[in-house]
Amino acid sequence: MMTRESDLLTRYDRRIRWSFGAIVLILMIIVSGVAISLSSLLSQKQDNRLSGAIATILGESISRVSFSGKYHARLFVEEMKSRVPDLEFISVETSEGMILAHSDPTRDDTLITDPVDNDLRRQSIQSGTMITQERIHGGIAVKEVIMPYRSGIGAEVIGVVRIGINFNEARKEQRINIYRLLILIAILTILAIWGIHILSRRFGYTVRTLAMQLQGILNHAPLAIAITDKEGRVPASSVIYNDTFGHPAKDVTQRQLLEEYLSEAVIKDLAETDRIVFESGMSREREMVVDIHGESRVWNISKFPIAKDEEGRATLICTFIHDVSEQKRAEEQLRIFMESVENSSDAVGMSTPEGKHYYQNQAFNELFGPIGENPPETVYVDPAVGHEVFRAIMAGGQWTGEAQMYARDRRILDILLRAYANKDKSGRITTLVGIHTDISERKQAEEKRRELEDKLQRSEKMEALGTLAGGVAHDLNNTLGIIVGYSELLSSGIDKSSPLQSKVANIMKGGERAAAIVQDLLTLARRGVQTRSVVNINDIIRNFLKTPEYERILSYNPRMQVNADLPTDILNIMGSPIHLHKTVMNLLSNASEAMPHGGSLNIKTSNQYLDKAISGYDYVREGEYVVFSISDTGDGISPDNIRHIFEPFYTKKAMGRSGTGLGLAVVWGTVKDHDGYIDVQSEEGKGTTFNLYFPVTREEISVDNISLSLPDYKGKGESVLVVDDVKEQRDLASEMLSRLSYSVSSFSSGEEAVEYLKTNSVDILILDMIMDPGMDGLDTYKEIIKLYPGQKAIIVSGYSETDRVREAQSLGAGTYVKKPYVMERLGLAVRKELDRK
């Protein structure tokens, strides 16, 4: 397009040069013609003057000569030829046309036959004047002069003298001059055209250059450009304009061009803007939304005058139409992106390749604040990591990973960092970007989750082992119940002085020791705490320090020093003295064995209120606690072993010293049965501290009557129904109650008992809670109270008190009695329930 327009401009220049050349040529031709004409006239006048002069000379000569005869006439001719060299010929003729004398002697005495010559002769004779005429004589142009001559007394015209003056050389010279003039004119014309060309090239260069530059702009501008005049015509437009609206024809106005593509409102708006620019001579710029080619576009329109008349009024205006739709869309996308970045919870920072930050979003400012000129040294906890990050991204790569950084308050944060470099098209790094995600809370939560999973795993393992231990304890209880029960019955039937009495007593003591082991198993199963009372942990500790068990512990480690710090203001707790006693024993034994070569064992109690939960080995909830602490200066526990210390049968202790062999597992079960928590802190080579948290109670300790006599729990012949799936247990309970003066019936299942009671009634039921198969104690009691609402009952079991036991009690059952059966405990419970109103 540009080449075509350039050729067009060249043709315009050529036309201008040829037009000026033609004008010059015409002027030269006119001047030449005038010059030639004037030259011819001048030459003719000169010829005429010359002819006249010659004629005058001849006339004077003729007047002195008498042409009375041929002789004189021929002398005259000879004389004139010698006097006037330019004479081509001369002749003396009579009025009849006879040549008397001629410069060509061959023509003497000849008669003129040429009619023209005769006619001219007659005219001269008749007029008596000289006649001149140009003629060709012998192929030569001559000026012919015919003069009459007179003779005689009357001076009558008797003939003529005809002379021919040779102007051939003059004519030749004249033609040469004309040729010279024409050549000069041609040269001048060429020089004029060349001069005009040079001048046009020189003085029109700026205009031509501007025109070519303008055309280049119109051809290659990335926007629609139109130049319009006051009539609305478009003398020039850009390629983009033509592609958008079509190429404007010569007489088509811009309005006509736009009508096919734009709405009437937009066209009027544009026309009004044109009017304002033409009238004010000032530029206007605006943004418009238009519908064109079936889509909505955003145009940035600029209009400004580019030509003015002598009065300063705009005659041409230029319009720039820049389609900024994509730019607007990109700006909107950039705005949304930057708004997203600014509101992102991730801390985003951007810096130059030299490390100078020029953008930080809100999260970045809140997290890090000002970071200084050298981030690797000021932000990173480990500067080596910071330098590694910068080396990676400055090499054109990226770095992703976790790093520890300082917060603006100098806290150490765990940061997930994604850093990379942005490059321009040439591959040069322009921006360094860092996206920082604070994962401190997440890592803490993950650590806490791992701890909770470990605790849950330990708890589930303890629960599983406890379930196993509980099952074993239940079966052992049934066996021990028979041994202890019948030993008690045997002792009551033997004379006090009998030597068998001591043997029976040993059987009972062995059974009681076995029962203690069962109790440990039940504690492990968290089924061991039968009853709770208000106790003070200091009393439990002091009482233990007076026992043989404590003396035995000291005997194994005589170099151990025991220190007890037991403040007098320690609050009370709800607990089982027996289980708490065993907990103290196990912890002291464990601490002693941790110091085989002696050391310090410190016992301490304190009141502590937690306003927020703490997470150590165990998760301790907020609340008010009595804290029982035992610490030693032994070897400590390794991190691998501390995870397993409360697991049953996991021990590093010497076999045979811990009584039941269940050690810390029993402690764990006891604390959990008391709704408490355990925290363990240990460092290898320095020792271990156990902190036991027990919930506080505001109740006071009551004094129970310890000594009871047989009449206090003896029966009065009331009817008792014993329901137990184990025959030996059923028979033992029946015999004990019979000895206490009760009328006893027994069944092995709940179904049999319900069937019996459909036709019979009893004063009280003894229901074993666990019976298999068939109905258990709760289901049996539910069926019986349908028959006898308010039926009194005692619940017995080898397990600790359960939810089903408590549900039975809520339905009306009385005291819960734990196996193995003891006559006093069983009789007291039955008596108490029967006496209850």
pLDDT per residue as tens digits for the range 381-408 = 898 888 888 888 888 778 998 888 888 8
**Predicted confidence (pLDDT) at residue 365 exceeds the cutoff of 70:** yes
CB 284 within 8 A of CB 302: yes
Q: Are 692 and 674 in contact (CB under 8 A)?
A: no
Q: Quick check: 630 pLDDT over 90?
A: yes
526-538, pLDDT tens digit by residue?
A: 544 555 789 999 9
Strand partners, 403: 415
pLDDT at res. 60 = 58
**Beta carbons within 10 angstroms of residue 495's beta carbon:** 8
What are the tokens at 442? Answer: 């997440």
| Cα separation, 371 vs 626, whole angstroms | 48
The domains of the chain, with CATH numbers, are 2-174 (3.30.450.20), 221-328 (3.30.450.20), 355-438 (3.30.450.20), 444-528 (1.10.287.130), 533-697 (3.30.565.10), 711-835 (3.40.50.2300)
Q: What distance lies between CA 699 and its chain's CA centroid?
A: 64
Residue with token string 């909107």:
332
136 touches 142 (CB < 8 A): yes
Beta bridge partners of 682: 688
* Sheet strands side by side (includes 140-151): 99-102, 87-94, 156-166, 140-151, 131-137
Residue 833 has pLDDT above 80, yes or no: yes
Residue with tokens 């990050």: 389
Q: What percent of the chain has pLDDT over 90?
A: 13
For residue 563, the model assigns a pLDDT of 94
User: Would you state the pLDDT for residue 527?
Assistant: 47
pLDDT tens, residue by residue, 210-258: 667 677 777 777 788 888 888 888 888 888 888 888 777 777 787 877 8
Distances (CA, A) of 796 to 531, 724, 770, 775, 777: 14, 9, 9, 15, 9
Least confidently predicted of 45-49, 342-346, 617-621: 45-49
Whether residue 338 is predicted with pLDDT greater than 50 in this model: the reply is: yes
The residue-averaged pLDDT of 302-328 equals: 85
pLDDT of residue 223: 82
Burial state string for 498-511 with b = 16 or more CB within 10 A and e = fewer than 16: eeeeeebeebbeeb
pLDDT at 89: 84
What is the DSSP secondary-structure string of 149-198?
A: EEETTTTEEEEEEEEEEE-HHHHHHHHHHHHHHHHHHHHHHHHHHHHHHH
Q: Is the model's pLDDT at 596 over the cut of 90?
A: no
Summarize the confidence of residues 722-738 as an average pLDDT: 88
Higher pLDDT, 642 or 616: 642
User: What pLDDT is attached to residue 703?
Assistant: 55
Write a three-state SS string for 295-348. Answer: EEEEEEEEEEEEEECCCCCEEEEEEEEEECHHHHHHHHHHHHHHHHHHHCCCEE
- What are the pLDDT digits (tens) for 160-207? 888 888 766 766 777 787 788 778 877 877 887 787 777 766 665 665
- Average pLDDT, rounded, for the chain: 80
Q: Please, where are the H alpha helices in 576-662?
A: 577-593, 639-642
Phi, psi of 595 (to 5 degrees): -125, 70
Strands 412-423, 398-406: pairing is: antiparallel
Question: Quick one: average pLDDT of 757-778?
Answer: 90
Residue 66 has pLDDT above 60, yes or no: no
- The one-letter code for the residue type at 175 is R
Beta-strand relationship, 793-797 and 816-818: parallel
At residue 521, the pLDDT reads 64
Alpha-helix runs per DSSP H in 712-762: 727-739, 750-757
- Read off the tokens for 591: 């601490």
Question: Which structure tokens are listed for 752?
Answer: 């049999």
- Max alpha carbon distance in the chain (Å)? 239
pLDDT at 5: 46
Q: Is 106 exposed, middle or buried (0-12, 13-18, 19+ CB in 10 A)?
A: exposed
Question: Which has more pLDDT, 726 or 565?
Answer: 565
Local confidence band at 718 (pLDDT 50, 70, 90 cut-offs): very high
pLDDT(710) > 70? no
Over 60: is that where the pLDDT of 3 sits? no
Q: What distance lies between CA 54 and its chain's CA centroid?
A: 117
Q: According to the model, what pLDDT value does residue 391 have?
A: 87
Residue 588's nearest CA partner among 692, 509, 696 is 692
